[in-house]
Structure 1
């Protein structure tokens, strides 16, 4: 058989079989508009994605501005609504300015790539989100991957650098296990070495800090001239989109240099309107942030997790991917939807159920979670 007799995609069948054998095949499962099961899998931490005021905010923006932005924000896609939201979010978290992107992923790409570049150093935590990993790869900078939450390693990398500019990249709340980054210590190291700190607050906004202002605000770092914050609108704010927040000079530079901002269509007005309404609900009801952590602590106790969670995420490590997948399937069959994280999302041997708390969980829902998780985890750990 000659090379031309083979389909250029014939290799996909072998790769798929390898994934099936390893228990790593993924499938899409469509959910109905109103799920019958209890949701402990989504990132709707504040329970705002179905809130009447949030829905009304999206609908009003849709009717006022249309279904799409119509172009990049530098052409026709920048509305008064986009800038109103940017101003209110920046004020809420204590930043000087904000710039909305079409997703949290593109916000991270835009920020890291535009603020580093050839001839600079990027130091990234080993367990940062895939969007930050991809941003490092695209940056054309020299990249050092530091061990998870290892401040001394970051210090050493910055101290040994020959590059003129340096950027340190981390999440504030790590998405797979919910632990917190040592932000004060990282910032002290960055300041000592003249490096910029970029912090992804995707899982911190709405959960950590007074009234959900984020972990950077909690530790007193928002508004610092050497700190840039990124976040998503798709988690605590129940909408979609991404934002970069920081000094006004950073916003101006990203408008000129961030390719995911310049060449992408602006975020749909409905998403902006919904996010703005959600932000206003959070400001009016700051107790929602406390409720998330209270419910997360109860889910941890139910699941036999001995460490009290620092965020909405409760990670129940079960080891092998087939064990975690079987447990997640058993939970769903009993009316509780949970996340199932397997390699490459998490390291080999640490496949897990990822439970996410919501501010809006009721007593009856917590009772259901208790019954199902107790039963399923007893089998998974046997």
Structure 2
């Protein structure tokens, strides 16, 4: 079994530890204040490093791990800026290592299934809402803490060709400490289309109501994914039966995908330019790498003859290479950071004063 180290002993680090142990032998667990000499000694004996520390430490820790020939799994967002991410990516390419960010909503089986449905439809608008009370981190706004979940989904949709020319149109923080915000994005309906659609995101760490809701309106239906519902995936104005997914193990899927990428990494990996080029062609089979045949479309059954079941069976038969998955992951990770940067730049003049 390969060796891994975990950096981060906080709330999320303890959760992540449980999933790491299923695939790796954890040789060391450190806090974020670990001395460089101690960390380097452990890195030199490890295959992978898992980083679950505050955002401000991601770049330094990931860079050190890559320099000492470890694959890196880092919690979202990857880094504070896209420039830092590009530095890490170049280093990962140079040393033939994997750089993976845990954008866990891109492993949601309900969201992934919804994106399959959208391949056959035209998106009209998107609304997302993510709220809760708490999980405040120093020097991190609500965008980095929870808003990035849906921002990464939007970036992922662009890489799959469901959206094009995605950008932040406006961002307004609703309190002086930047713990709640509303954002408006604009995008073209699809590549080559002239139809503009609006994407709205509301995120808050100051709400008494916990919500995780994505609603996508198309020309003939509304697809809804409520991550907190026992039946997360539903449609309005459609008679199609849909499978039911368990949304409690998405972190397991992320760790498993990281492990598979590490196992398949090749020396002839593509350049940074091709991994961050938003116009690069991505086939639907590339997306299939995010869902494994053994667990991807585990319907609890709504009729064996349903369209949903037929689609699931078809999807299970399609497999692609893990190398392509890595490039897809890197592109939407880069786009996610670019969107975060746009949001903060647009919000500078609208943030309420203390």
- Whichever structure has more strand as a proportion of its residues is 2
Give the number of the structure whose alpha-carbon radius of gyration is greater: 1
Same fold (TM over 0.5): no
- Whichever structure has more helix as a proportion of its residues is 1
TM-score between both structures, scaled by the size of structure 1:
0.23
TM-score between both structures, scaled by the size of structure 2:
0.24
